[in-house]
Amino acid sequence: MDKVYSHFDRFMVFQVKQLLDNKGIPCFVKNEFAIGAMGELSPMDVLPEVWISDPQWLPKAQLFVKQFEQEFESQTSNHTPWVCVKCNESNLANFELCWQCGTENAS
């Protein structure tokens, strides 16, 4: 068994698990509920992790995880807030829709 991904955000971990599942790579999540033991265990020991059970899949899994991380980085690297054309509300850069009125980002 090999660990291919870990992150403090369970949502990110489950996105990677879903990605690998969709690619036909058998995987599972470890430490899914271990966060409750933080304090008694080190923070690094309670991070949720994605593991694969068959080492044959490791190179492909690592490639897909790397692509996922690069795509996520490129999506979040634009830190320029935008202003909604409909209601003039200021929105964070990672919002695709205006949080106030739901209008799509025009830029």
Is the same domain home to 15 and 64? yes
Is the same domain home to 16 and 40? yes
Residue-range definition of the domain harbouring residue 85:
78-107
Is the same domain home to 43 and 14? yes
Task: Please tell me whether residue 20 adopts helix, strand or coil conformation.
Answer: helix
Number of domains in the chain: 2
CA angle 2, 12, 18 (to 5 degrees): 65
Low-confidence ranges of the chain (pLDDT < 50): none
Is the same domain home to 89 and 71? no
CA-based diameter of the chain, in Å? Answer: 53
pLDDT reported for residue 44: 66
pLDDT reported for residue 81: 87
Is the same domain home to 49 and 65? yes
pLDDT reported for residue 31: 87
pLDDT reported for residue 39: 58
